[in-house]
Chains A and B, each alone.
Chain A
Amino acid sequence: MDLILVNLIDGLVFGLLLFMLSSGLTLIFSMMGVLNFAHASFYMLGAYFGYQLSTVLGIGFIGGLIVAPIIVGVGGALIERYGLRQVHQYGHVPELIFTFGLALLIQEVVKLFWGQNQIPYFEPAYLDFALFSVGDNAIKAYKVFMIFISLAIFGGLLYILTKTRIGMIIQAALSYPKTVEALGHNVPFIFMGVFGVGTALAGVAGVIAGPALGTFPGMAFTLGSIVFVTIVVGGLGSLWGALLASLLIGWLTTFAASYNLRMEDILTGLGMTKPEVMSDSMLQDLWTLTLPQVGPILPYLLMVLILVFRPQGLLGKREA
């Protein structure tokens, strides 16, 4: 029972982290119709800028949390303005390839400035204590902090998008850009702004996830593909779908990693006998399979199944 609760909390933390990335990505997708492969790279930049600002320049963790996303967001907006808009005229496939190249490039630039190895970016001392404990498992204050930051951002985003005038214009511009332009709004500027805010959100996620998950040049690609899975599963362009899928995948991977369900037990439970000499059997891998082993690939399996059987995703309205 304790373990379930701990896993629920861990899964929630990871799921909300995924949501911070997937919400921005899904908004950008509704706007441009293109998946931004470099989205997780902005998350990585957020973590590195956060480290650089908070420890080397010494404005503290909170300072980094505020300044780093702004830098990332401005950088993202500039890339949209001078990079993506240039490529847009060639069509969707070059756009996708451009963002893919950008992801590679950002990874190499990060390696140039900060090196191959993980950098010593830790949570601030004032959040590094056990807030409460479930059974024998201590829950760190930092995890709770992460949950609250994510929830605050989700609430803010939802409020802005549905209750304010700016949000209305953005939503209208996503569906009917021509009409909104005819009404006198600067739609390219709105798109640039949405791209900037989306990347800034990824930057926030990077600043707070860097200490928890580790800050290294491969972090963008490890999380990036999971974020894709999330928005495809949730339904491209759907904010609620992104939330649902983020939590689903967060819990799926966390639970799979912590329950050592072995294939051996299932097969013997079904009445099969384990072969004496494993190395001769063609099915040896089936016998030695465990749930933590397959855990990391479950999201991809889920995505492929979703794409085959329900291409619009869980809550999506249109096909990708």
Chain B
Amino acid sequence: MSTANTTNRAYGAITLGTLLPWIIGAIILLVLPILMGSKGQLTIMSQMSIMVVFALAYNMLLGQGGMLSFGHAVYMGMGSFLCLHVMNASYFGSVPLPILPLIGGFFGLGIAMIIGSFSTRSAGTIFAMISLGLGELMAACVLIIVVFFGGEEGISGYRDEGLPFFGLEFISHIEVFYLIAFWLFVSAALMFLFSRTPVGRMANAVRDNPERAQFLGYSARWVRFVSFSASGFFCGIAGGLSAILFEIATESDLNVTASGVILLIVFLGGVGFFWGPIIGAVVFILLQTVLGLQTHLWELYVGVIFVAMVMYFPGGLAGIIMSHAVAMSLGKLGLLVRPYLTCVLPAIIGILGLCGLIEMIFHMREAPTGETEMTLFWTAIDTHHIWAWLVFGVIAAGGILLARQQSSVLKEAWDQANTIDTPAEEPS
């Protein structure tokens, strides 16, 4: 043990290198609202921050603990509902708003401890099924238990009725954003530190080989229970933040669809790295708002991206980024630039062509009869004319064929960029 400790002394030490991402993160959170200060942008950024907290909490289970939950929105939703009840209570005038997420967090912790006491007995399919069953149960309970959940219309409240916090009443959006950003930073730091504690490390061990961890004298169930409860706590914080931002909680906050969305986000971002879910949440909310404005079919595109991601890049976006680490440490990243351009660019054009075809199918079905014109990529197109279909078909087929043809060049360059000590030759 002692030798392991001495050799690992550098591990866990606080250096500028380990602090740098956090400092950059804090600066980004501080500066963003100054750069993009409109009401809509602030709301989107607040929403992103909440999703980041939730996604990081979810990844404590999926990525770090290997537990796949299909009902995790329950803990966030419960925190949200409780916080709204606090906001509606008569004593809310003496509660400063910034500590409200903490109340949600402890409620999430309590619920997670109750449920975790029996659901964490095993990981894998049983855990996933229990979480799914409980998710469905809770979603159904929302409509039955009207006292707590408010039935169909949910519970709503007003955040500005709390005790003023150093004169702040959190009426403007920027104040709310900074409040959420503060909690985002604190929870992210705490979750990161949790992953570095012995129990966080044991969660990884139990994920990879529960039997072996038990032979070492650790109770796999206890380790899972601790991760699960901690995850519930941070989900509750996210729920409290969502209560503050939206001032309403309904059934859609904790149903199985909401749980599915968080799974999607975390997997998209990448479960293998601590910061993967952050990327996932930011990208997903961007996709949702940007694509959602452009097309009715954004869910279809997100679904395709998700399935393609699971099939070809199970490490998610973070995995894709980190797969360049070897090439970067060898200083050969430059080799990849040209093949990327020649391969990815046609692929993107081809995919856009495919999207055009899909949009035309959608328009054919949805548009009122007689209306044959639609605007696609800023051009007016007659969907009932063969030429439109031909043009997009050619673009799609051409782009994808070209990308396929170039993929061998890319692969060659990739192999070259990842090998040491070969004389640097230009890929033919």
Give A residues with C-beta under 8 Å from B: 34-35, 83, 86-87, 90, 92-94, 96-98, 100-102, 104-105, 107-109, 111-113, 115, 221, 225, 228-229, 232, 236, 282, 284-285, 289, 293-294, 296-297, 300-301, 303-304, 307-308, 311, 319-320
Partner of A300, one of B136, B304, B366: B136
Check if B68 sits within 8 Å of A307, measured CB to CB.
no
B362 located at the interface, meaning its Cβ lies under 8 Å from any Cβ of chain A in the complex: yes
The residue of chain B having its C-beta at the shortest distance from the C-beta of A294 within the complex is: B144
113-145 of chain B: CB within 8 A of chain A: 118, 122, 124-126, 128-130, 132-134, 136-137, 140-141, 144-145
Within B307-340, which residues are at the interface with A (CB < 8 Å)? 307, 310-312, 314
Name the A residues within 8 Å of B13 (CB-CB): none
CB-defined contacts of A289 to chain B, threshold 8 Å? 144
Binds A, one of B81-89, B256-264, B399-407: B256-264
Question: Once the chains are docked, how many angstroms separate the CA of A17 from the CA of B136?
Answer: 21
Binds A, one of B246-254, B283-291, B295-303: B295-303
Q: Is B267 an interface residue (CB 8 A)?
A: yes
Cross-chain pairs A/B with CB under 8 angstroms, 11 sampled: A83-B307, A87-B311, A97-B263, A98-B310, A112-B365, A229-B133, A232-B129, A303-B129, A311-B126, A319-B126, A320-B124
Taking A93-B68, A297-B137, A304-B134 as contacts, is the C-beta distance between A98 and B129 under 8 angstroms? no
List of A residues within 8 angstroms of B134 by Cβ: 300, 304
B358 within 8 A of A: yes
Given A102-B307, A105-B304, A293-B144, residue A307 in contact with residue B299 (CB < 8 A)? no
Q: Which residues of B contact A296 (CB under 8 A)?
A: 140
Name the residue in B70, B147, B307 with the highest tally of chain A Cβ atoms < 10 Å from its Cβ. Answer: B307
Residue of A nearest to B303 (CB): A105
**Are A108 and B130 CB-contacts (below 8 A) given A100-B263, A225-B256?**
no
The interface size of chain B toward A, counting residues with CB under 8 Å, comes to 44
Cross-chain contact of B126 among A108, A228, A300, A320 (Cβ < 8 A): A320
What are the residues of chain B within 8 A of A301 when measuring CB–CB?
133, 137
Cβ-based interface call for B391 (8 A):
no
Name B residues whose Cβ lies closer than 8 Å to a Cβ of A. Answer: 62, 66, 68, 70, 118, 122, 124-126, 128-130, 132-134, 136-137, 140-141, 144-147, 256, 260, 263-264, 267, 297, 299-300, 303-304, 306-307, 310-312, 314, 358, 361-362, 365-366
- Say whether chain A's binding surface is mostly helix, strand, loop, or mixed: helix
For B125, what are the chain A residues with a Cβ–Cβ distance below 8 Å?
A: 34-35, 92, 96, 236, 320
Contact partners of A229 in chain B: CB under 8 A: 133
Residue of A86, A284, A285 touching B311 (CB-CB under 8 A): A86
Please state if B310 and A228 are interface contacts (CB–CB under 8 Å): no
Nearest-neighbor residue (CB-CB) of B144 within chain A: A293
CA A319 – CA B123 in complex, angstroms?
11
**B129 contacts A92, C-beta separation under 8 Å:** no
* A112 → B minimal CB distance (Å): 6
Chain B interface, DSSP helix/strand/loop, else mixed: helix
Query: When A113-B365, A294-B144 are in contact, do A90 and B132 touch as well, CB less than 8 Å?
Result: no
- In the assembled complex, which residues on chain A have CB atoms less than 8 Å from the CB atom of B129? 35, 228, 232, 303, 307, 320
Asked whether, in the complex, the Cβ of B260 is within 8 Å of the Cβ of A104, the reply is: yes
Q: Is B303's CB under 8 angstroms from A115's CB?
A: no
6 nearest A-B residue pairs (beta carbon): A108-B300, A105-B303, A297-B140, A320-B125, A101-B307, A300-B133
CB of B267 within 8 A of CB of A97, answer yes
Q: Which residues of B contact A297 (CB under 8 A)?
A: 136-137, 140-141
Give, as a whole number of angstroms, the nearest-CB distance from B65 to chain A.
11
Query: What is the CA–CA distance of A203 and B350 in the complex, to the nearest angstrom?
Result: 33
Smallest beta-carbon distance A282→chain B, Å:
6
Enumerate chain B residues within 8 angstroms of A96, measured Cβ to Cβ: 68, 125, 128
**Bound Cα distance from A307 to B122, whole angstroms:** 10
The answer for the CA separation of A320 and B123 in the assembled complex, in Å, is 10
| B311 proximity list for chain A (CB < 8 A) | 83, 86-87, 98
16 further A-B pairs in the complex, CB-CB below 8 A; given A228-B132, A311-B122: A35-B129, A87-B310, A94-B310, A97-B267, A101-B303, A104-B264, A104-B306, A109-B300, A112-B362, A225-B132, A297-B137, A301-B133, A303-B130, A304-B137, A308-B118, A319-B126
Contact A284 to B147, CB < 8 A, known contacts A87-B311, A301-B137, A311-B126: yes
Whether A108 contacts B303 in the complex (CB less than 8 A), given A87-B311, A296-B140, A297-B140, comes out as yes
What is the CA–CA distance of A304 and B144 in the complex, to the nearest angstrom? 19
B residues in contact with A311, CB < 8 Å: 122, 126
CB distance from A260 to the nearest CB of B (A): 15
> Do A285 and B307 contact each other (CB < 8 Å), given the known contacts A97-B263, A100-B260, A108-B299?
no
User: In the complex where A285-B146, A301-B137 touch, is A87 in contact with B314 (Cβ < 8 A)?
Assistant: yes
Q: Which residues of chain A are near B365, meaning CB under 8 Å? A: 112-113, 115
Asked whether A284 lies within 8 Å of B146 as measured between CB atoms, the reply is yes
Q: Are B126's CB and A113's CB within 8 A?
A: no
Q: Which B-chain residue is minimally distant from A284 (CB atoms)?
A: B147
Q: How far is the CA of A216 from the CA of B160 in the complex (A)?
A: 43
* CA–CA, A87 and B306, complex, Å: 13
Q: In the bound complex, how far is the Cα of B124 from the Cα of A109, in angstroms? A: 29
How many Å lie between the Cα of A45 and that of B145 in the bound state?
A: 35
Q: Which residues of A contact B304 (CB under 8 A)?
A: 105
Residues of A within 8 A of B300 (CB): 105, 108-109, 111-112
In this complex, what residue of A is CB-closest to B118? A308
- Is B136 touching A113 in the complex (CB atoms < 8 A)? no
CA distance A83 to B365 in the complex (A): 29
On whether A300 and B137 interact (CB within 8 A), knowing A93-B68, A108-B299, A112-B361, the answer reads yes
Q: Which of A97, A109, A228, A308 meets B68, CB within 8 Å?
A: A97
A258 to chain B minimum Cβ distance, whole angstroms, is: 18
Chain B residues near A293: list those with CB within 8 A.
Answer: 144
| A-side contacts of B130, CB under 8 Å | 303-304, 307-308
B366 and chain A: residue at smallest CB distance: A115
